[in-house]
Structure 1
Amino acid sequence: MSNNEFYIGWMPKAPGGFARHTKKVIIALLILTITVGVLLAISQKKFGTGQFEFGQLTNITGVYFKEPVPAIKVMSGKDLLGRSAYITIPLIGYGKSGADGILLDLEKLQHVDLNKKEITLKGTLLYNDGKLLMQIDAADNPLVSVNKTAGENMLPLQKELGEQTIQGEIVDPKCFFGVMKPGEGKPHKDCAIRCISGGIPPVLKVTNKEGDCNYYLLVGAHGEKMNEAVKEFVATPVAVKAKVVAYDDWVILYVTDQKGISPIAGWQLVKPGSQAISCIARCIK
C-alpha cells in the first residue's frame, strides 16, 4: 500500500493498494485461525472407546466370587490348546455404588450363600480395552437362578508376582470402562471420587511407553476395601507399592497400607516387559 493512498470509510471505493493489503491480512488471519483450530483439536485428549449397553439387560451364567472383589467367572470358549478359557467380570451396582449391598440382600432374600456357586445374573454390560464389567440393579431382580457349588476347576487360578511398585492413575472402572467419556483424568476427578466412595472397586490404570494399558484392582493387604484410602489420590499420577497377585485375567494389588500409595511429580512409565505388566497368560501358566 502506497503512503500516498488514503481511505475514509464513507468513500465509495477503497484505493487498490489498501484493498490488496486488507485481503492479505484477512487471508493470513484465516490461515492462522484454521491452523490454531487444528492444533487445538489434535492436542485434545480423544474420547474413550468404552461402551455401556444402556437399557439392555443381559443374562450371564458363571461362578460368583465375593473376594477379592465381587465378580462372576464365565467360560468364554477354548484357548489355542483346546483348554477351557474364562473371563472374570467384576460386578458393580446401579448409579455410584458397589454391588456388595445388592448381593448381600439377594443372599438374605434367597437364604443362600452365593459365594463360589454357579449363578445366572441379569444386568447391564460395559466394556473397554479388553475388560468387561456388569452393572446389577436391585430393581431388575438380577438373580435369575442359583445352581450347584463350583468345582475345583472353576476356582481362580492364582499366581503371586511378588512385591512391586507400579505407577499409574487411579480410576473408577464403571465410568472408565464405558459410562463416561472421558472417564479419567482431572475433568472426571470429582465423579470418580463419588463412584469410588460409593463402593465401586478402584482400579489402577498403567500405560507403558508404547501406549498399551494394563489395569489392576486395588485392595488392602488382607483383601479389605481401599475405597476411602485412595480417594485423595484419584486422577493423580501415583506410585503403588503392593503385593501383586494374578487372578485369572485380572491382577490384584494388595496394598500394605495407605502409605503404600504416594503421588509422583511426573508421569514415569513402567518399563515394557516388567513382570506385572506382561501378558497375564504368561504369568499364570
Structure 2
Amino acid sequence: MSNNDFYIGWMPKAPGSFARHTKKVIIALLILAVTVGVLLATAQKKFSTGQFEFGRLTNITGVYFKEPVPAIKVMSGKDLLGRASYITIPLIGYGKFGAGGIILDLEKEKHLDLVKKEITLKGTLLYNDGKLLMQIDAADDPLVSVNKAAGENILPLQKELGEQTILGEIVDPKCFFGVMKPGEGKPHKDCAIRCISGGIPPVLKVINNEGEANYYLLMGAQGEKMNQAVKEFVAAPVAVKAKVVKYDDWVILYVTDKKSISPVSARQLIKPGSQTIGCIAPCLK
C-alpha cells in the first residue's frame, strides 16, 4: 500500500481507493440488511384469517342442541341427491364465558325447554377455516322465536371412530376462530386459559402432513366438561388419548381423565405418513 492509500481520520479527504472500498462495504451492508429484513418478515407466522362480525347482529334459524356442547344445527342447502345438508354452529357467550348459562336463563324466563326445538337466535358470528360459531349476549335479547319441535331426521348423525391418540394444540375457539389475532400459541396462552375457564369449550387444533387443519371438541368420558382439566395444557403441543365420535360436521374427543392428556415436544408433532398430526391409532378421515 502506498502512502497515498494510508488514511487517518483527521485528514481532510480520504484517498480514492479507501473511499471506493468504504462505498462497497456500505452497499453490501445495505443489501444484507434489506435481505435479512425480508427473510424475517416472510418467516413470521401469518395472521389468522378469522373474522368476528363485531357490532353486527345476525339472526340464525335452526335446531338447538345442548349436547355435546350448546349448538344450533342449521340447514345449509341440499346435496347432489337433493338431501338436506346441515352445519353445526357452536354457541358461545359474551366475553370469556360459555353460552350454557345464557340459554338456561332464557329457558327459565320463557318456561320452555329449547332442546331439539327449532329456534331463531340473534347473535354475532365468528368464523375461520370452515368453522362457524355464534356469540350470544343476554343484553341483545338473543331468543327471537321458538317454533316447532324438530323431527327425528334432524338429530345429529353419530359415527364412532374408536380410541385414538392425537397430537395437537388446545385452543379456545372463540379467540382462535375470529376474536383475537393471534388466537393460539404462547402469546395467547393467558387469554385462552381465561376463556376456557369461563366455560368456552376447549378445542384441539390438529394439522396434518398436507398442512390442513382439523378441529376436535374436547369432552369428558361421559360428556362432562373438561375445561378445568385442560387449563395447564393450553397453547403447547399435547397428545390426547380419547374415544373419537363424529357428530355431523364436528368431531368430539371423549377423554377419560386428565391423565389422558400429556405434553409432547414440538418435534413429535409431525409423524411421516399419517393423515393427522401424530395420529398413533388409525387416523381420522
Q: Identify the residue that residue 283 of structure 1 maps to in structure 2.
A: none
After superposition, the Cα gap between the structure-2 partners of 1:174 and 1:3, relative to the gap in structure 1 and judged at 3 Å, is: farther
Structure 1: runs of 5 or more not aligned:
279-285
Shift of 1:89: 0.1
Q: Deviations over 1:140-178 (max 9, x none)?
A: 000001111111011101111111111111000011111
Alignment of 1:1-285 (within 5 A): 4-9=4-9, 11-265=11-265, 266-269=267-270, 271-272=274-275, 276-278=283-285
> Using the alignment, how far apart are the partners of 1:12 and 1:42 within structure 2?
44
> Using the alignment, how far apart are the partners of 2:284 and 2:43 within structure 1?
27
Shift of 1:5: 2.6
- Do the aligned residues in 2 keep the contact of 1:2 with 1:17 (CA within 8 Å)? no
Shift of 1:28: 1.1
AA paired with 2:284? I
Q: Deviations over 1:83-106 (max 9, x none)?
A: 100000000011111111111111
Shift of 1:269: 3.2
Q: Percent identity?
A: 83
> Using the alignment, how far apart are the partners of 1:3 and 1:111 within structure 2?
101
Shift of 1:277: 2.9
Shift of 1:3: 6.0
After superposition, the Cα gap between the structure-2 partners of 1:31 and 1:151, relative to the gap in structure 1 and judged at 3 Å, is: same
Q: Identify the residue that residue 281 of structure 1 maps to in structure 2.
A: none
> Using the alignment, how far apart are the partners of 1:56 and 1:183 within structure 2?
21
TM value normalised by structure 1 = 0.94
After superposition, the Cα gap between the structure-2 partners of 1:2 and 1:26, relative to the gap in structure 1 and judged at 3 Å, is: farther
Structure 2: runs of 5 or more not aligned:
none
AA paired with 1:160? E
Deviates more, 1:27-36 or 1:1-10: 1-10
- Do the aligned residues in 1 keep the contact of 2:161 with 2:284 (CA within 8 Å)? no
Task: Provide the alpha-carbon RMSD of the alignment.
Answer: 1.5
Q: How many residues in Structure 1 have an aligned counterpart in Structure 2?
A: 278
> Using the alignment, how far apart are the partners of 2:202 and 2:10 within structure 1?
68
AA paired with 2:93? G
- Do the aligned residues in 1 keep the contact of 2:64 with 2:115 (CA within 8 Å)? yes
- Do the aligned residues in 1 keep the contact of 2:4 with 2:15 (CA within 8 Å)? no
AA paired with 2:236? T
> Using the alignment, how far apart are the partners of 1:175 and 1:51 within structure 2?
10
> Using the alignment, how far apart are the partners of 1:81 and 1:236 within structure 2?
43
